[in-house]
Amino acid sequence: MTRAVAEHVRFESYEAFRRWAEDQPGYWILVRGVPMPSPSPSRKHQEVALRFELLLVEALRRPGLGWVYDAPLDVKLMEDTVYQPDLLVVLREHADRLRETHIEGTPDLVVEVVSPSTAHLDLLEKRYDYGRAGVREYWVVDPETRTVEVYGLEGDRLMLIEGAREEGRVRSRLIPGLEVDVAALFRDL
C-alpha cells in the first residue's frame, strides 16, 4: 500500500492498526490515526544506531537500570499514535510498560537517527508527540551533519538542552554514565 492510499485509512485504536499492519508489506507507524510506511534505513544509519545502542547497553543493561530496544518495536504513545524509534529505553521502575508485542506508553528515553527522508518527521512531529506523551529525554542523531542533540522534557515539550557537531561529548541527564563522544560515534563513516 502506498502512502497516498494509506492516508485515506484512519485508525482510532492500536489493536485495529496492528491487525491491519500485519497484512502490509514492510513496517508501518501510526501518526495521529494515519498509517505511514517506515522506509528501510541506510547502512550508515544502521552503523550509527548500532554504535549508540552499544553505549546504551553499557550504561543500562550491565548495571541493571533498564531495557534497551531497537526498531522495529511498536511504541504505543496513544491509541492513534504508534512509533518505532530507532532506539528506546525503559527504566526498571517502568517495567509495567513492557508488553510481549510492544511498549504500552512512554519510553523514558528515545533515540532517532535522522535520515533525509525522515528528518521532518523526527525533528518536528515525533518530537512534539514524544513530548506530549512524556518522554523524558529525546536524542536526535544526524549522520549527515555529524550532529547529536539532546532534548529534555519541560512540561509537555521537549526542549534542546545540549548538542554537539563533529566533536565534543554529550551527556544524558537521565542515565548516569551515558556519554557520547561525537567524533567517535561518526568515525570512518
Per residue in 123-173, pLDDT (tens digit) is 788 999 999 999 999 999 999 999 999 999 999 999 999 999 999 999 999
Are residues 66 and 53 in contact, defined by beta-carbon separation less than 8 angstroms? no
Query: Which superfamily does 40-186 belong to?
Result: tt1808, chain A (3.90.1570.10)
Is the pLDDT confidence value at 47 over 80?
A: yes
Task: State the average pLDDT over residues 27-50.
Answer: 89
Question: In this prediction, what percent of the chain has a pLDDT beyond 70?
Answer: 94
State the Cα–Cα distance between residues 65 and 128, nearest whole angstrom: 26
pLDDT at residue 4 in the model? 45
Per-residue model confidence as pLDDT tens digits over 62-75: 789 999 999 999 99
Q: Say yes or no to pLDDT of 82 above 80.
A: yes
Confidence category of residue 6, pLDDT binned at 50, 70, 90: low
Q: What pTM did the predictor assign?
A: 0.88
- Give the sign of the dihedral formed by CA 186, CA 85, CA 117, CA 162: negative
| Closest residue by Cα to residue 152 from 166, 143, 164, 140 | 140
φ, ψ of residue 57 in degrees (nearest 5): -60, -45
* Domain spans, the chain: 40-186
Q: What is the mean pLDDT of the segment spanning 91-98? A: 97
Give the whole-angstrom CA distance, residue 114 versus residue 120: 9
Q: How confident is the model at residue 1 (pLDDT cuts 50, 70, 90)?
A: very low
Work out the percent of the chain whose per-residue pLDDT is above 90: 72
CA distance 47 to 106: 26
